[in-house]
Structure 1
Amino acid sequence: MNRHHHKPRLVNLLDDFAFGGVSRGLGIFSSQIVADAADCSVVAVRPDALIAPRLDADIIVVHFPPNWRRIAFLLSLRVRNPQARIMHVEHSYTRAWEALKVEQKGRFRLMLRIALRLVDQVVCVSCGQADWLREVAQLPWHKVDVIYPHAENPGLCTLPLPDFSCERPLVIGAYGRFHEQKGLENLIGAHRAGALPGTELVIGGFGPMEDELRQLAGNSPDIRFAGKIDDVAGFLRGCDLVAVPSRWEAYGQVACEAREAGRPILVAPVDGLPEQVGSAGLVIDFTNPDALARAFATLDNQRLGVMARAARRSAQDCGLDRQREWARLIRRLVPRQARPIGVPVTA
């Protein structure tokens, strides 16, 4: 019998196709580098599903967070797909999220331990998230990988760097969902309190907190709302630096996009945000206007220029790096493609 080897078949499972960071990030599986490592596809799963599908897959990647109900789904996924390596990508849960949103932490951590023992590998989207998840879910080091997410936004890496020598107000950009997670009210409140003198604040996005944020901004001539951001490069072209005041943030795609655009970043001290900073900006407590004012006062034009160049360098080829990391992980999980083409999967 002529046994031809095949590329591994990788199936991404997604239960929410809203145009957010998770669904945008799936584009990496269509890149040539990852496509050379595996034949990738996406399968939709109902959020309330208890029975998993049988899949013609060597690797199954789960992109939704576990919960008690999902344990039954994961068990079914394991039983119905015994030939597949199962990988879970944790996009949502973090240390800061748990501290703010989980009352019964012991019960929550028990759920994580049970759920994540049903998968072969866990991918975290930041080192901070990985450290926390290893701790609370009692995961061995070898079972956890860190791959930063990435979504293509054309034009970011070719934007001209800001000109900080001009005598004009600095433009601080912030964008994302108008949701409590993003902490935009803290940024607006600090700006209204005078913590960011000589600056204009431009806020992009939409969401359930829009009325509250607009009311907080009042009639300040130095705060404006840009609406939904369809062109990230176009928005960032008009910004000198970018603030990310989130209450929790597994990674922080906004910070990565800002760095690609060569914009210094000001980020909150939570989860995956600080590890993006390096020399590209500052880690700042946005809930403390006095501390924010003291930190911002250290940013003269020369230092901002150094940060902008460091930001651009730190994100150079980051999309290619992520593609290579996924390809390496796929090849590590399925080092040999032993199932010949045309031989069906049995479960």
Structure 2
Amino acid sequence: MSPKTIVHLVDDTTAGGVMRMLDFIETNPEMARLGSHRVQVVARGRLAAPQLDEEIIVSHLSVSWRNLPMLVGLRARYADRTLIHVEHSYTGAFTGLKVRHRTRFFALLRTAYSLFDRVIAVSEGQGRWLAERGLVREEALAVIPSCVDLAPFLALPGRYGAPRIIGAIGRFDEQKGFDTLIRAFRETADPDLRLRLIGEGADRAALEELASGDSRISFHGYSSTPAAEMAKLDMVAMPSRWEAYGLVALEARAAGRALLVAQVDGLQDHIEGGARAVAGGTVEAWREAIETACKTGPALHIGIAWGRISAADVQRTTPELWAKLLNKIAGHHHSRDAA
């Protein structure tokens, strides 16, 4: 496959998973072999499609009724181009918790996704939901996990002793479930355990109030050097209520840290990669999971070691999956043109 020109459209440049994934796409040597990548910011809710010269247009845009006219315009204006959408947000757990009018919501998703030649799910868990709900045509659906540069995490010495410092990394909001984690941690009895919450968000004051009185719990702001923060931790906890994939989980695996994840959406992918599942999402379930994990043993060590190996494999296979997808699209277009 000859190198392509590829533009990535975004409407949210907040520091987080989407922008870090795009940084990986722009800087990874294997991704560079697929073509030249450019990121273009698009104002959310604009009506007209932007002027674009690239052969392949990749949307990382939010799907909403407000954005739908622009997505329709994008398909109409570039009917001869390849359009791909990467779904970073919507999942089964999100729908169950946050969507009241599901028939209308599913109509929006089916309409929006039908405008694209391919729709990429960022995890197997999310992909199963998209397929089972019939939201994306089977032949149009691909699963490519999100990735970041894992070299700084793979370079860290693994932690194979009994975990004592537990980290929770991400936005301080309802999605991440840090309120449940704080309540669960407060019920643990070991005075030597520590919980570090790393991030920013609207719920910070409420979380600090919830943690008040337990000196073992500390809050730390957003860090532009996540590997340096990971180096301070023995274990990472991710009690998310919904999560399309969970880059923090991938980073924890690469760093050789024990990892506890809620059994939802894309976090389930990390269970096969060495993470320990916490079922139920209750305070009691998380308290028990923390206490059990902190009693280190061979099973924990095996999970940590496998996590490092499998995380490195994700970094290797992500560009391969992109190449496979672009080759398949190129072959389809060639067959169509020949006909």
- After TM superposition, the score normalised by the length of structure 2 is 0.91
Q: CA deviation at 1:307?
A: 2.2
RMSD across aligned C-alpha pairs, in angstroms? Answer: 2.2
Q: Which residue is 2:188 aligned to?
A: 194
1:115 aligns with 2:112: yes
**In 1, distance between residues paired with 2:283 and 2:77?**
54
1:267-308, Cα deviation, whole Å (9 max, x unpaired): 111110022122623111474233334444443322332222
Runs of 4+ that moved beyond 6 A: none
Which deviates further from its counterpart, 179-188 or 322-331?
322-331
The 1:83–1:279 alpha-carbon spacing in structure 2 relative to 1, beyond 3 Å, is closer
- What's the counterpart of residue 309 of structure 1? 305
The amino acid of 1:40's aligned partner reads H
Checking the alignment, whether the CA contact within 8 Å between 1:37 and 1:331 is kept in structure 2 is no
Q: Which of 256, 259, 284 does residue 253 from structure 2 map onto? A: 259
Alignment of 1:188-267 (within 5 A): 188-194=182-188, 199-267=193-261
CA displacement at 1:16 relative to structure 2: 1.6
* C-alpha deviation, 1:222, in angstroms: 1.2
Q: CA deviation at 1:195?
A: 7.4
In 2, distance between residues paired with 1:321 and 1:59? 21
- Which of 198-207 and 175-184 deviates more? 198-207
Written as runs of structure 1 = structure 2, the 5 A alignment for 1:55-66 is: 55-66=52-63
Q: Given the alignment of the two structures, is residue 160 of structure 1 paired with residue 157 of structure 2, yes or no?
A: yes
**C-alpha distance in structure 2 between counterparts of 1:236 and 1:286, whole Å:** 26
Q: Tell me whether 1:15 sits opposite 2:6 in the alignment.
A: no
Larger Rg: 1
Map 1:56-205 → 2, pairs under 5 A: 56-164=53-161, 170-194=164-188, 199-205=193-199
Secondary structure of the 2:312 match is coil
Q: CA deviation at 1:200?
A: 1.4
- Structure-2 change in CA distance of 1:208 and 1:245 (3 Å): same
Q: Is the 8 A contact 1:154 1:233 kept in 2?
A: no
Of structures 1 and 2, the one with the larger relative CO (CA 8 A, separation 6+) is 1
In the alignment, structure 2 segments of 5+ residues that lack a partner are 335-339
Higher helix proportion (structure 1 or 2) = 2
Deviation at 1:45, TM superposition (A): 1.1
Match of 2:39 in 1: 42
CA distance in 1, matches of 2:207, 2:300: 28
In structure 2, C-alpha distance between the alignment counterparts of 1:220 and 1:25, rounded to whole Å: 36
Identity %: 37
**Structure 1 residues 296 and 16: CA distance shift in structure 2, 3 A:** closer
Q: 1:337 to 1:133 in 2, by over 3 A?
A: closer
Which residue number in structure 1 is paired with residue 337 of structure 2? none
Letter in 2 for 1:52: A
Task: Return the alpha-carbon distance in structure 2 between the equivalents of residues 196 and 103 of structure 1.
Answer: 41
Q: Quickly say closer, same or farther: Cα 1:142–1:238, change in 2 above 3 A.
A: same
Comparing 46-55 and 236-245, the one that deviates more: 46-55
Letter in 2 for 1:48: G
AA matched with 2:317:
D
Please say which of residues 19-28 and 94-103 is displaced more in the overlay.
Answer: 19-28
Aligned to 1:333: 329
Deviations 1:160-190 (A, max 9, x none): 111416xxx7111111111111110110011
1:278 aligns with 2:275: no
Aligned letter for 1:333?
A: I
